[in-house]
Amino acid sequence: MYLSKIIKNKFMTKYEEYALLQSEIDVLEAKKDLLRAEIETILPPEGHKDEYVTALWKSNKKWSYSDTIKTLENKLKEDKTKIETQKEIEEKEGIAKFEETKSLVIKVNKQK
């Protein structure tokens, strides 16, 4: 099925091997896209689970904000950088003080 298994030999350059693999990837990606389109038509809203595979719908939201928000975020980033720089200076110069505490951590290991 895969050309690289048939054609690959010790005389093939790395460039040729790379190009061959890329063409196989392109073919597989196209097949994957076709399968996804088919699955979208048959996968129920609650998903599918059997002994071999679990298929679920996953939803992601990506927000786009106004220029006003973007400007405020950039200013905040600049301010945070200034604050972190000032904290480092105060730590090095001994102006900032720290308090060290110790706590006990116990973790039960699972039995095999």
pLDDT in tens, 31-60: 999 999 999 899 898 888 888 888 888 888
Q: What is the 3-state secondary structure (H, E, C) of the chain?
A: CCHHHHHCCCCCCHHHHHHHHHHHHHHHHHHHHHHHHHHHHHCCCCCEECCCCEECCCCCCCCCCCHHHHHHHHHHHHHHHHHHHHHHHHHHHCCCCCCCCCCCCCCCCCCC
The mean-pLDDT minimum among 13-17, 58-62, 82-86 falls in: 13-17
Whole-number pLDDT of residue 87? 95
Q: pTM higher than 0.75 for the full model?
A: no
